[in-house]
């Protein structure tokens, strides 16, 4: 099985060639992509939502809950994506990532800090030799409304500054108008510019209207070279719903079976409580499988979630809730 952590640079031409092989066509055209994507099984909306509701009723206790809380902390992309971001704010975010709970050094670190591209160097310097990654949003985040030269330059700037991961947004207008080849070409081009940096493809599921579109966008994103498929920018509602995440988990599971390649999933926006996070982890285990229960293949795009997980962790350790003022409430956004 190959993994999406391989650092070999994949060119857009190579990605197109691979896509042709998967589709079984001699030339990658919009017609071929449309036929293939619309040939995917339709989503049973009632069944999907019923399954999500059932997962939401699950309850785990004691050692399993403690493991889930630590795992969820280790999967967070701690995020600040505001126009008012300053170097000091980014350094504060890094401090929180390096020491989530100063009273307990055994607390896991989040997986990454996620910032705008112009703050990558600040975050990278503040992290030093830490294993915490730096993720940068790019490609005219959050709208994606820019020319390709601008999108590629945006990505290249972040990679050159040291970004370990790139979170790009697809052109939802092109996708919704059925111009799948344009979306494919843009993802493949960004993937090439990423070099060794991992690419998370944001579909902005709140704008895709239907579950069938979520499934098609998931497969298109993987086909074009995404290392992760991601629900949302956190700027559009609804964001990371459980039904949408279930569809994405089914897609990566089926992609692994088809290609032998494991792709990650990142729900982002609106996940704020430990109970929510644990429900998502139950879904990961039951739909995709336990091999996705690692921050290599599953992330939460969140900031306020971390504080609730820390409070729950302290309660399990001491038997009582700490006051909220014992946790630094420096969440920079509702992302």
200 counts as catalytic = no
**Would you call the peptide bond into 222 cis, given omega within 30 degrees of 0 as the criterion?**
no
Query: What distances in angstroms separate CA 255 from CA 177, 210, 261, 328, one per listed residue?
Result: 25, 21, 7, 40
Instruction: Work out the burial of residue 49: count CB atoms within 10 Å of its CB; fewer than 13 is exposed, 13-18 middle, 19 or more buried.
Output: middle
The residues that bridge with 112 in the sheet, in sequence order, are 77, 133
d(CA 270, CA 206): 12
Q: Which of the residues 200, 266, 276, 308 is marked catalytic?
A: 266
Q: Which of the residues 154, 167, 171, 185 is marked catalytic?
A: 167
d(CA 261, CA 248): 15
Question: Are 301 and 334 within 8 A, CB to CB?
Answer: no
Helices 180-194 and 30-37, axial angle in degrees (round to 10): 100
167 counts as catalytic = yes
d(CA 273, CA 330): 16
230 counts as catalytic = yes
Helices 62-74 and 274-283, axial angle in degrees (round to 10): 90
- Give the residue among 267, 274, 331, 269 at the shortest CA–CA distance from 308: 274
Other C-beta atoms closer than 10 Å to the C-beta of 293 total: 17
d(CA 168, CA 190): 8
d(CA 277, CA 71): 10
d(CA 241, CA 253): 19
Residues 6+ apart with CB under 8 A from 34: 178, 180
Q: Which of the residues 151, 191, 230, 235 is marked catalytic?
A: 230
Question: Are 166 and 136 within 8 A, CB to CB?
Answer: yes
> What are the catalytic residues?
167, 230, 266
């Amino acid at each position: 099985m190959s993994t999406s952590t391989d650092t070999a640079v994949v060119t857009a031409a190579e990605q197109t060639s691979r896509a042709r092989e998967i589709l079984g066509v001699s030339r990658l055209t919009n017609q071929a992509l449309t036929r293939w994507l619309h040939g995917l099984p339709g989503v049973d909306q009632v069944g999907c939502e019923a399954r999500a509701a059932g997962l939401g009723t699950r309850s785990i206790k004691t050692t399993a809950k403690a493991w889930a809380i630590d795992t969820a902390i280790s999967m967070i992309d701690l995020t600040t994506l505001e126009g008012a971001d300053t170097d000091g704010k980014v350094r504060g975010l890094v401090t929180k990532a390096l020491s989530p709970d100063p009273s307990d050094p055994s607390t896991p670190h989040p997986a990454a800090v996620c910032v705008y591209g112009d703050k990558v160097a600040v975050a990278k310097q503040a992290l030093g030799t830490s294993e915490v990654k730096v993720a940068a949003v790019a490609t005219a985040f959050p709208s994606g409304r820019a020319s390709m030269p601008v999108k590629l330059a945006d990505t290249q700037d972040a990679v050159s500054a040291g970004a370990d991961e790139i979170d790009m947004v697809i052109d939802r207008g092109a996708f919704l108008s059925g111009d799948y080849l344009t979306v494919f070409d843009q993802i493949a081009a960004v993937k090439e510019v990423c070099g060794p940096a991992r690419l998370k493809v944001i579909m902005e599921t709140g704008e895709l209207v239907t579950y069938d579109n979520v499934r098609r966008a998931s497969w298109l994103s993987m086909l074009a070279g995404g290392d992760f498929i991601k629900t949302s920018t956190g700027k559009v509602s609804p964001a990371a719903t459980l039904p949408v995440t279930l569809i994405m988990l089914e897609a990566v599971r089926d992609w692994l079976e088809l290609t032998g390649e494991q792709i990650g999933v990142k729900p982002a926006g609106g996940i704020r409580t430990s109970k929510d996070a644990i429900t998502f982890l139950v879904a990961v285990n039951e739909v995709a499988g336990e091999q996705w229960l690692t921050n290599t293949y599953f992330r939460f795009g969140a900031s306020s979630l971390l504080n609730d997980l820390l409070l729950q962790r302290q309660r399990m350790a001491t038997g009582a809730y700490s006051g909220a003022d014992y946790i630094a409430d420096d969440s920079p956004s509702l992302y």
